[in-house]
Amino acid sequence: MTPDPAQSLANLRLERDAILLYDALGAIEKDENRAAAFHRIASNERRHAEVWATKLREAGVDVPESPARPRARVSAIILLARLFGTRAVSDLVTALEGDEEQIYGEQSSPEVEAIAADEREHAEIWRRLKDPDYHPERDIATRERWHRSGRSGTLRAVIFGVSDGLVSNLALVMGVAGAARDHGSFVLLAGVAGLLAGAFSMAAGEYISMQSQRELFERQIALERAEMEAMPEEEEAEMAALYRAKGFRDDEAKAIAHRLFEDPERALDQLIREELGLDPDELGSPFGAAGGSFVAFAIGAFIPVAPYIVTFGAGAFAASILLSVVALFGVGVGVSLLTGRSALFSGARQVGIGAAAAIVTYAVGSLIGVSVAS
């Protein structure tokens, strides 16, 4: 089925946004290899855009001029790349590529199938770009699913860490404010205690989780290394079996496995990726994860308590609510960069969640305060 003109126009806009994105990333990136990869993707996106422009012309529809700037989500990614570098937006662009693949997956035509295949290749290139030694002409032997790279991205962890701190401490501050309306110092004390307790709890939990996971992975890698040293022929046969399962002929699979096992470390790396589904280069840092969780939670938790550092009373209460609403909406907008949902919808949803928590705890705190006063 050929896409209708309206769908072709939407696809054209999608591809033109991608052109602006990758042209910008290519201009920002200082590393020649990474910049070359971005320019290559931009070239593919231009080819895709021409496909839809041609479809529109054939349907007698005027092709609109290319926009001077992309939609808000893409503009935000470009801004973040300018501020923090292209590596910092890896998860955001990977999520964007995944959304495009899904959009094309819902359509059906030879053109769409070809473009969707290119979009999958683009996501795979981003996975390869996580390797600091990436070179566009180097063949990466592993073919893991593209979305593994975005499971625990830094930006994602920061956004949700801030969200946790903001919502939990807002609820705490509102609950204490409801119980101790004329004692702003109690609210300040509770807010600071909640900030520190929550941040340390988050950091400890993240450290233990990451360290346990790392120790498990290291144990699995050590066992795989021991098996290679003790039974190299059997492990080479396992590698060949893995490639046969991927569709290679028996002689091709054996040749690839034999070539890999000429370098034991390279063979071990490949076995870890294929058999265990692990990336030895991305086991994560427990201290880094703990520190990141502490800071992100503390930033979010500080917002509702900040006004009480300056003043007490109704003014501090109102300022706390106002700052928290603005921050909640900002967190929702940040979430929209990852999910692709409307920034307005995500922001309003986040405000609704925070407001519900605050209202419930304020009501409970008021009831407890009245009960104690009586």
Q: pLDDT of 90-115, one tens digit each?
A: 878 877 777 777 777 667 666 666 66
Domain boundaries, the chain: 5-134, 154-207+285-373, 213-282
Report pLDDT digits (tens) over 143-201.
Answer: 333 334 334 456 677 788 899 999 999 999 998 988 877 677 888 999 999 999 999 99
The better pLDDT of the pair 340, 293 is held by 293
pLDDT, position 144: 36
The better pLDDT of the pair 149, 248 is held by 248
The better pLDDT of the pair 102, 223 is held by 223
Sign of the alpha-carbon torsion through 120, 101, 129, 17: positive
Cα→Cα distances 179→92, 175, 363, 364, 370, Å: 42, 6, 9, 8, 7
Q: What is the mean pLDDT of residues 76-95?
A: 84
The better pLDDT of the pair 254, 371 is held by 254
Lowest mean pLDDT among 29-33, 96-100, 186-190, 262-266: 96-100
Report pLDDT digits (tens) over 35-47.
Answer: 888 888 888 888 8
Pick the closest to residue 159 from 211, 91, 205 (CA basis).
91
Reported as a pLDDT band with limits 50, 70 and 90, residue 319 is very high
Q: How many CA atoms lie within 13 A of 224 on its CB side?
A: 25
- Percent of the chain whose pLDDT exceeds 70: 80
Reported as a pLDDT band with limits 50, 70 and 90, residue 276 is low
pLDDT, position 200: 93
> Which range scores top for mean pLDDT: 35-39, 110-114, 202-206, 294-298?
294-298
Lowest mean pLDDT among 29-38, 161-170, 271-280, 311-320: 271-280
> Residue 183: helix, strand or coil by DSSP?
coil
Q: What is the mean pLDDT of residues 47-72?
A: 83
At residue 224, does pLDDT exceed 80?
no
Separation CA 267–CA 201 (nearest Å): 40
Pick the closest to residue 194 from 172, 163, 227 (CA basis).
172
pLDDT, position 168: 92
The better pLDDT of the pair 251, 132 is held by 251
DSSP states of 86-135: GGGGHHHHHHHHHHHHHHHHTS-SHHHHHHHHHHHHHHHHHHHHTSTT--
Cα→Cα distances 328→105, 301, 331, 333, 338, Å: 33, 11, 5, 9, 16
Q: Are 14 and 49 in contact (CB under 8 A)?
A: no
> Which range scores top for mean pLDDT: 54-63, 155-164, 212-221, 348-357?
348-357
Mean pLDDT taken over the chain? 80
Cα→Cα distances 151→91, 147, 271, 282, 338, Å: 8, 7, 21, 11, 11
pLDDT, position 108: 62
pLDDT, position 143: 37
Separation CA 18–CA 14 (nearest Å): 6
Cα→Cα distances 59→3, 54, 65, Å: 11, 9, 17
Tokens of residue 179, six digits: 């119980």
Tokens of residue 164, six digits: 């946790």
pLDDT, position 150: 39
Q: What is the mean pLDDT of residues 49-53?
A: 85
Lowest mean pLDDT among 110-124, 147-161, 248-262: 147-161
At residue 2, does pLDDT exceed 60?
no
Question: What architecture does CATH give domain 5-134?
Answer: Up-down Bundle (1.20)
- Percent of the chain whose pLDDT exceeds 90: 20
Reported as a pLDDT band with limits 50, 70 and 90, residue 374 is very low
At residue 260, does pLDDT exceed 80?
yes
pLDDT, position 279: 64
Predicted TM-score of the model (pTM)? 0.58
Separation CA 204–CA 297 (nearest Å): 12
Separation CA 361–CA 295 (nearest Å): 25
